[in-house]
Amino acid sequence: MTEKNPLVTICFLTYNYADKLEKALEPILHQSYQNIQLIVSNNQSTDTTEEVVKKIQQQYPKVIYRKNIPDLAADQFYDISSKSIPTGSHKKTYDILFNHCNSVIKSGLIKGEFVIFCHQDDVYQTDIVKKEVEFLIAHPNVQAVATTGKIINQDDSIAGLWRLPKELKEKNYYNFKEIFTAILRHGNFLLTPSFMLRTNTFEKVGLFDDQGPFGGADDLEMWLRILETYPIGIIQENLIWWRKGGRGKKYNQLRTDKADHFKLMDYYLKEKEYGKSVDKKSLRQYEFQKDFDNTLCIMHFLIKGEVGEAKKLINQSYWLPNFWAFLENPTLLRTKVLSLKVVLYLGINLNLGKPLGKFLYRFL
């Protein structure tokens, strides 16, 4: 039975963020919900992070500081988010962020009934903990809850909104089929740093799959794994400001292989056979998303000067089904990407791939 005022553990994960750490922790230290255990976990920073935390502890002595020591031999692994793995390497891969999460979970320091893993770049609004606690107390069958949020630039200016698909707006908690189908149609809308979980989640479904095949999609893999057994909630309020330009930008920079998101979704569709129960429109929209991603990869091949690879990929595209999917859900962004694909197709097949690549390199 959940208490009326349960303890919430906030795990603040940081790396080389000393100059911004005090500002980043301020919203967490001033949450409207007060029964909080704050753990600042430092993932082997080379700056003055430890000194900054000690200064903070003078004013807030309950803040717990830990030095994270990855539970693997770093020289035998590559961080999957860097996408700098040498061809032919026999080293295994891991996700440094979710390995850090797992290390905190296994440390035994988490005492709260509920837990949040905070990313150092994002800004948490004053009532996020209070409202998520209230939600989980009111919905004892729900295993985790997230929120919607605003998207901010590096200078804190608002760049957009992290939106919930319109077909989900009539409810506030969902089963696997509802979330999975919406992701097929719209892409991943689950805002990972906003999630609050019941701490017993990891006993029930296991830890983050930080050394698995899905790389940067390890968070979505966890949410889908939870959803296979338990519902999750989404509070339709912008209770977090998610910052652009973090590890996602590093991951996507000139990427030419299939996005980890699609590796995960393909696994669920094919290996776990959820594709057998998905409607055709949702599958068409999913294939359009994959084609969208392929268009970006084609552009990246051109920028790298690999015209042959770009030509092979664009000439393998299925135009008619994807155009049908576009007509079912036309948006400004989709129109721009479809126009880009037409330009790339014509340029490559008119043997203008190299000058087009130089143009893209200069202006993108």
pLDDT value of residue 13: 94
Distance separating alpha carbons of residues 53 and 64, to the nearest angstrom: 9
The values of phi and psi at residue 295, to 5°, are: -60, -40
Residue type, 280: K
**Among candidate residues 144, 185, 191, 151, the one with its CA nearest the CA of residue 167:** 185
Q: Say what the pLDDT of residue 249 is.
A: 52
Q: Report d(CA 303, CA 298) in Å as an integer.
A: 9
Secondary element (H or E) of residue 234: strand 232-243
Q: Could you tell me which residues are beta bridge partners of residue 200?
A: none
Structural domains in the chain, CATH included, are: 8-250 (3.90.550.10), 279-363 (no CATH)
Q: What b/e string do you get for 307-325 counting C-beta neighbours within 10 Å, with b at 16 or more?
A: bebbbebbeeeeeeebeeb
**C-alpha to C-alpha distance for 172 and 326, rounded to whole angstroms:** 28
What is the value of pTM for the model shown? 0.89
pLDDT at position 253 is 65
Which pLDDT belongs to residue 89?
A: 45
| pLDDT tens by residue, the chain, 364 residues | 567 899 999 999 999 999 999 999 999 999 999 999 999 999 989 999 999 999 999 999 999 999 988 765 445 444 444 444 444 444 455 578 888 999 999 999 999 999 999 999 999 999 999 999 999 999 999 999 999 999 999 888 999 999 999 999 999 999 999 999 999 999 999 999 999 999 999 999 999 998 888 888 999 999 999 999 999 999 999 999 999 876 555 545 678 888 999 999 999 999 999 999 999 999 999 999 999 999 999 999 999 899 999 999 999 887 888 888 889 989 998 899 889 899 999 999 999 988 888 888 776 6
Contacts of 175 (CB under 8 A, 6+ apart): 227, 231
Structure tokens at 246: 């973090």
pLDDT recorded at residue 125: 96
